[in-house]
Structure 1
């Protein structure tokens, strides 16, 4: 679950934003003042910050500076309508984006998802059985821990992820691996790579639940789902 750091002094706006973000699957951490925001940054790691420029004891620019010194995350400024000077200042300070109040909820969510995607923090493209594959960053994780695949193992996994509802014949897989490897991949080699991949991604390689064998036909991907 992605962690959003919300710095907003208006309690009503903060409450509504927190509900919206929670409904979209984010975990929200709210600070209503500059001082509280700086304190929260000291002991927490976040994936993205939404920062109101106007705060009762300072401003969002100071919070942005503190974020940039402590965490490498996208920052989106929340700004009053028509405050062009503040927008320019924020972007010059390294903010990734800004959105003007009042804003449409779907527009805000789209901006957040775009910023996360650019930062390589977007939701995984595929997840199942404790396995997540983030095709934007190339990171594969099992139970929250990164696992390391060879280039050919990763390519093989991507073929399954990109064809979630298909039975893949051995010939199809061989063609895909030939394109990626630039070398001849035999039937025996394919068997070895499937075995190695299962050893890395399955809870029990002897009883696989992610890469399933379809007897007489080939293989298919087991019960995962693509992120929306």
Structure 2
């Protein structure tokens, strides 16, 4: 699944224009036209970045930004996109927690350059992966099997994320060791990989004895199957 960007803008023409450029840049565009809808979409989708107008119906952009930034672990990037062009307005927006401030009228190409810069600067992991009934959300450290939240150890999470991120690729035990035990002794850690895989299968497979997601490739290693 592509990284998601939430566009909060009450003018449909501007919203659709920004969405077009967001999609053409390889992201998924979510669109909200007021502050309440923005809260709902954010809560459901947890986008990695928000492009936020300030003068919104129902709940203002400033209030929405405060709500997003207040005590939330996921802490998305926020770019304010506003006709408020005074220096005081920009300073106020940045003090609320915005990562950048772009004034209207604006160039869509310049806006996307700001988007790339914010994502690069903040180093956020945006990509959630949806494969074969599993959803893994690296920013939240969560794995869902359909509507069930799974309890995974740190090593199990990292191993599953790596396999899902590289679905259909076969990895040897030694290669997997380097991902989760980079300084471990390869022979000992190779057996540990087998143990991690066994535990993962108990949590994500209908029948761990007949796995459908993490498969053993005889004489080679393991791979995650993309159905």
Band of TM-score, shorter chain: 0.5 to 0.7
1:160 maps to which residue? Answer: 163
- SS of 1:99's partner is strand
Q: Please tell me whether Structure 1 or Structure 2 has the larger radius of gyration of its CA atoms.
A: 1
1:123 maps to which residue? Answer: 127
2:144 maps to which residue? Answer: 141
1:111 maps to which residue? Answer: 115
**TM-score normalised by L of structure 2:** 0.66
Deviation of 1:149 after TM superposition, in Å, equals 1.4
Aligned residues: 212
Structure 1 residues 50 and 155 mapped into 2: Cα distance closer, same or farther (>3 Å)? closer
Deviation of 1:96 after TM superposition, in Å, equals 2.9
Quick check: 1:79–1:86 contact (8 Å CA) kept in 2? Answer: no
Deviation of 1:197 after TM superposition, in Å, equals 0.7
Structure 1 residues 175 and 25 mapped into 2: Cα distance closer, same or farther (>3 Å)? closer
Quick check: 2:15–2:31 contact (8 Å CA) kept in 1? Answer: no
85, 88, 112: which is aligned to 1:85? 88
Deviation of 1:108 after TM superposition, in Å, equals 3.2
55, 68, 75: which is aligned to 2:66? 68
Deviation of 1:93 after TM superposition, in Å, equals 2.5
Deviation of 1:78 after TM superposition, in Å, equals 0.8
- Range with greater deviation from structure 2 (112-121 or 10-19): 112-121
2:210 maps to which residue? Answer: 207
Quick check: 1:210–1:222 contact (8 Å CA) kept in 2? Answer: yes
Partners in 2 of 1:174 and 1:92 — Cα distance?
43
Quick check: 2:7–2:18 contact (8 Å CA) kept in 1? Answer: no
Deviation of 1:128 after TM superposition, in Å, equals 1.4
Deviation of 1:67 after TM superposition, in Å, equals 4.5
- SS of 1:26's partner is strand
Partners in 2 of 1:182 and 1:122 — Cα distance?
32
Partners in 1 of 2:115 and 2:52 — Cα distance?
14
8, 15, 40: which is aligned to 1:44? 40
Unaligned runs of 5+ in 2: none
Structure 1 residues 147 and 93 mapped into 2: Cα distance closer, same or farther (>3 Å)? same
- SS of 1:197's partner is helix
Structure 1 residues 118 and 208 mapped into 2: Cα distance closer, same or farther (>3 Å)? farther
2:18 aligned with 1:17 = yes
- SS of 1:87's partner is helix
